[in-house]
Amino acid sequence: MRRPLPLLLAATLLGSAAAGPAAAQADKVPFRALPESKAQVQLSFAPLVKRAAPSVVNVYGTHVERRAAGRGAMDEFLRRFFGDAGPGGVPQERAQRSLGSGVIVDAAGLIVTNNHVIENMNEVKVALADRREFEAQIVLRDPRTDLAVLKIKAPTGGLVPMEFGDSEGLQVGDFVIAIGNPFGVGQTVTQGIISALARTQVGSSDYQFFIQTDAAINPGNSGGALVDLNGGLVGINSAIYSQSGGSHGIGFAIPASMVRAVVETAKGGGRTVRRPWLGARLQNVTPDIADSVGLDHPTGVLVASLQGKSPAEEAGLKRGDVILSVDNQAVDDPEAFGYRFALKGVSGETRFTVLRGTSRITVPVRLAPAPETRPRDALKVKTRSPFLGATAMNLSPAVAEEMQLDSGNDGVVITEIDPGSIANRAGLQKGDLVVAVNGTPVPTTRDLERATRAPQSMWEVTISRNGQQLTSVFGG
């Protein structure tokens, strides 16, 4: 049986004088709407690109460090004869470089890019579309969103900022263009559509809530602009899904609503982005949980536990509640909730729609940053022990919120591990809570310093990881 004809094609055939074999032949020709004017033939993204491209810059980062001595017989030989310099007294340095893109968002010279583009860089330069180059300083880094804000050190005018678009109003199927510097070949424009919204399983930042597009995004596009047809910045290109390193038509951008929040913090002089603290552990609503609470499909987030004296506890949230929306914006998983909640700022209040039992209620929640209940007192362990190369801090709600830990009232948490260090080889991980060393409790970083000060023939280390206590024994 033949498929029904498209309405417009059917109307065309019915209005034709053709009949019999001629009509049957016409039925085999696929219908295409033809341009009706020269203007339609000449439709182009060129005017949009002309307006948006001057706002997109290339970002170059360089990290220069002295070459470590003692990495081999030749290194030791050169060090003995030339010290920390090479032959001729030239310092032996090693440079790491990165290349990405950025977007001018303020006429005073503020530029937003990805944090991973300038991570660990101590020299940053930007090149404008008109080939002017400027040194830039890092104003703000926000690893949790993978965003950073730069500022041109000596702007000379002529900067063209891009206005923010409405990322919340995007729909799947909308046309967008991506502008950046893929593979360092120079400014490049690609076009596509919005493939999906609210992607939360990408894994390139703490706040996973990405715009997915099939506009070609390649290495070097990171930090570039995703632009709507009004010329507004709707996203910062951040990641791709690829098994080869090239574009496979699956690219991800950080929505402009989050980008704007980070930029506004930088404009206000902030060095870090402050976000509201809930003080509750949330988990996905599974199909079984949805059935048990009367939902027709899994949605929302389940309150698994509450911290004392937290906004969640003050608001009267209870274990087993299902949060369905934040200020009437639906949330489907903990990542979507985290994104929506993070945009609310740290003053005033927001309202949750909560399913409790069979009733839907509205719960006002106070917006406030996580408290710094005790000094962080950061410690970089430098004595020979299983912790050598690890950095630790005193835990507090503020530190726990930054590190996305479930509990944050006391204890010592590992915040950094140097690659290749003894701590790294011992299997310690960022986020581990140090419970005890050689049977002695470790409530503060000063206690950890004392516990690791003296050499030992054997070390017994107890940590808490993801709610489970693990004890390991190491040789001295």
pLDDT of residue 52: 93
Domain ranges across the chain: 49-271, 280-366, 379-475
The confidence band for 38, taking pLDDT boundaries of 50, 70 and 90, is confident
Specify the pTM: 0.75
Give the pLDDT mean for 68-91: 47
Q: Which of 154, 57, 169, 143 is nearest to 102 (CA)?
A: 57
Query: Which residues are bridge partners to 413 per DSSP?
Result: 393, 433
Residues 310-327: tens digit of each pLDDT: 999 999 999 999 999 999
Same fold, 49-271 and 280-366: no
Residue type, 114: N
Q: How far apart are CA 101 and CA 236, in angstroms?
A: 10
Q: What percent of the chain has pLDDT over 90?
A: 48
At residue 312, the 3 state secondary structure works out as helix
Query: Which residues are bridge partners to 100 per DSSP?
Result: 59
CB neighbour class for 212 (10 Å; exposed up to 12, middle 13-18, buried from 19): buried
pLDDT of residue 438: 93
Give the pLDDT mean for 2-25: 37
The answer, yes or no, to whether residue 174 has pLDDT greater than 60, is yes
The answer, yes or no, to whether residue 155 has pLDDT greater than 50, is yes
pLDDT of residue 79: 47
Q: At what angle do helices 334-342 and 256-267 cross, to 10 degrees?
A: 40
Give the pLDDT mean for 278-289: 92
Q: How far apart are CA 151 and CA 139, in angstroms?
A: 6
Task: Give the domain 280-366 fold.
Answer: Pdz3 Domain (2.30.42)
Give the pLDDT mean for 112-134: 89
Give the chain's largest Cα–Cα span: 100
Q: What percent of the chain has pLDDT over 70?
A: 80
| More confidently predicted of 177 and 61 | 177
pLDDT of residue 240: 66
Q: How far apart are CA 248 and CA 352, in angstroms?
A: 38
Residue type, 413: V
The answer, yes or no, to whether residue 150 has pLDDT greater than 60, is yes
Residues 6+ apart with CB under 8 A from 301: 282, 283, 284, 285, 322, 323, 331, 333, 334, 337
SS3 content of the chain, % helix, strand, coil (to 5): 20, 35, 45
* Most confident range, picked from 63-77, 87-101, 442-456: 442-456
The answer, yes or no, to whether residue 223 has pLDDT greater than 50, is yes
Catalytic residue among 101, 222, 247, 310: 222
pLDDT of residue 103: 96
The answer, yes or no, to whether residue 14 has pLDDT greater than 50, is no
Mean pLDDT for the chain?
82
Catalytic residue among 146, 206, 214, 228: 146
- Residue 221 annotated as binding site: yes
pLDDT of residue 2: 38
DSSP letter (8 states) at residue 110: E
Give the pLDDT mean for 269-295: 90
Q: Which CATH class is domain 49-271?
A: mainly beta
- Residue 222 annotated as binding site: yes
Give the pLDDT mean for 96-109: 87
At residue 160, the 3 state secondary structure works out as coil
pLDDT of residue 70: 45
What CATH superfamily classification does 379-475 receive? PDZ domain (2.30.42.10)
In the block, residue with structure tokens 């991570």: 119
Task: Tell me, yes or no, if 146 is annotated catalytic.
Answer: yes
- Residue 130 annotated as binding site: no
Q: How far apart, in Å, do the first and last CA atoms of the chain sit?
A: 80
pLDDT of residue 244: 52
- Residue 327 annotated as binding site: no
Q: How far apart are CA 67 and CA 344, in angstroms?
A: 45
Catalytic residue among 55, 98, 116, 167: 116
Task: Tell me, yes or no, if 222 is annotated catalytic.
Answer: yes
Q: Which pair of structure tokens corresponds to residue 119?
A: 């991570």
At residue 216, the 3 state secondary structure works out as coil
| More confidently predicted of 54 and 215 | 54
Give the pLDDT mean for 149-174: 89
Under 8 Å between Cβ of 424 and 417: yes
Task: Tell me, yes or no, if 418 is annotated catalytic.
Answer: no
The answer, yes or no, to whether residue 176 has pLDDT greater than 80, is yes
